[in-house]
Chains A and B, each alone.
Chain A
């Protein structure tokens, strides 16, 4: 619980740096999605962000292997989930970081609707899957 809170505060700090210094929203699906439709002068900062994230991901998980956990779902389910997350975040303009952290902090009505919807959808999906597993 303490690690979750401290980790969350670091995420909030990360979003604040990008917002106050560069004037941008720290939305990961948006940062990645923008690379699929690149425009002049709008690519380097995205790559720089992802590089920073990747480097701490690699170093952090090397120092603390337990931080990157096991995947309980089968590879087929993981592929379907990835497709849904990729398509859905582009259609709905954001994910947990952009709509969740940034959107709720700036009290965006679109983000509030998005967060309530994806939380509910995620809870329903997990509940149905665990019921199916329980019966199977």
Chain B
């Protein structure tokens, strides 16, 4: 029972990605190509998602705890540190190079797309490298 909400959320997310066009790397790259043959339509994905999700945060403020758990697991940091910015630069460059961000890559891999599998494999390797790096250099 406890795992139903996360399963439903994942299923809705996968469906939303497929419908939105985020699982089409050619379209994602065209969205980022603002000085070339720009396709702005994917801006509507973020707009639609935030338009719905904003209301959830209004509800959070009125709820003592989540429906099925005791407490909220929300980030509390507000500081802007170099890691945040450098991480976002690396992520953005990778996103632009292949047209995949993590969600669409995993969804496309499940759909059997070969390049997505290649991307997902190296993405997991990149995450592992970061894990190894943080172990070597404890902050």
- A interface residues with partner B (beta carbon < 8 Å): 1, 3-26, 28-29, 32-33, 36-37, 44-46, 48-58, 60-62, 64, 67-73, 75, 77-93, 95-97, 99-102, 104-106, 108-110, 113-115, 117-127, 129-130
8 further A-B contacts with Cβ under 8 Å, apart from A97-B13, A113-B88, are A14-B9, A15-B56, A56-B13, A80-B94, A84-B97, A87-B127, A87-B130, A90-B131
B63 — which chain A residues lie within 8 A by C-beta? 20
A-B contact pairs, 15 of them (CB 8 A): A4-B20, A22-B73, A45-B3, A51-B10, A53-B14, A53-B103, A58-B112, A68-B24, A78-B122, A81-B97, A91-B87, A92-B88, A101-B49, A104-B50, A110-B79
Identify whether the interface residues of B are mostly helix, strand, loop, or mixed: helix
Indicate which residue in B23, B33, B130 contacts A86 across the interface (CB closer than 8 Å): B130
Q: Kindly list the 9 A-B residue pairs having the minimum CB-CB distance in the complex, ordered from nearest.
A: A92-B87, A86-B126, A7-B20, A8-B48, A121-B92, A69-B24, A82-B122, A52-B10, A12-B52
- The reply to whether B55 and A16 form a contact with Cβ atoms under 8 Å apart is yes
- A120 shortest CB reach to chain B, Å: 7
- The reply to whether B119 and A57 form a contact with Cβ atoms under 8 Å apart is no
B11 — which chain A residues lie within 8 A by C-beta? 14, 52-53, 55-56
Given contacts A52-B14, A82-B119, A83-B122, contact A70 B45 (CB under 8 A): no
Identify whether the interface residues of A are mostly helix, strand, loop, or mixed: helix
Given contacts A22-B69, A23-B71, A52-B10, contact A10 B32 (CB under 8 A): no
- The reply to whether B91 and A121 form a contact with Cβ atoms under 8 Å apart is yes
- The reply to whether B9 and A49 form a contact with Cβ atoms under 8 Å apart is yes
- The reply to whether B99 and A22 form a contact with Cβ atoms under 8 Å apart is no
- A66 to B116 CA separation, bound complex (whole angstroms): 15
Q: How many residues of chain B get a CB closer than 8 Å to chain A's CBs?
A: 111
Indicate which residue in A17, A87, A124, A129 contacts B5 across the interface (CB closer than 8 Å): A17
A84 — which chain B residues lie within 8 A by C-beta? 90-91, 93-94, 97, 126
- A48 to B52 CA separation, bound complex (whole angstroms): 23
- The reply to whether B6 and A52 form a contact with Cβ atoms under 8 Å apart is yes
A104 — which chain B residues lie within 8 A by C-beta? 46, 50
Chain B 1-44 near chain A by CB (<8 Å), digits 1 or 0: 01101111111111111111111111101001111100001111
- A87 shortest CB reach to chain B, Å: 4
A53 — which chain B residues lie within 8 A by C-beta? 10-11, 13-14, 103, 106-107, 110
- B115 shortest CB reach to chain A, Å: 4
- B132 shortest CB reach to chain A, Å: 10
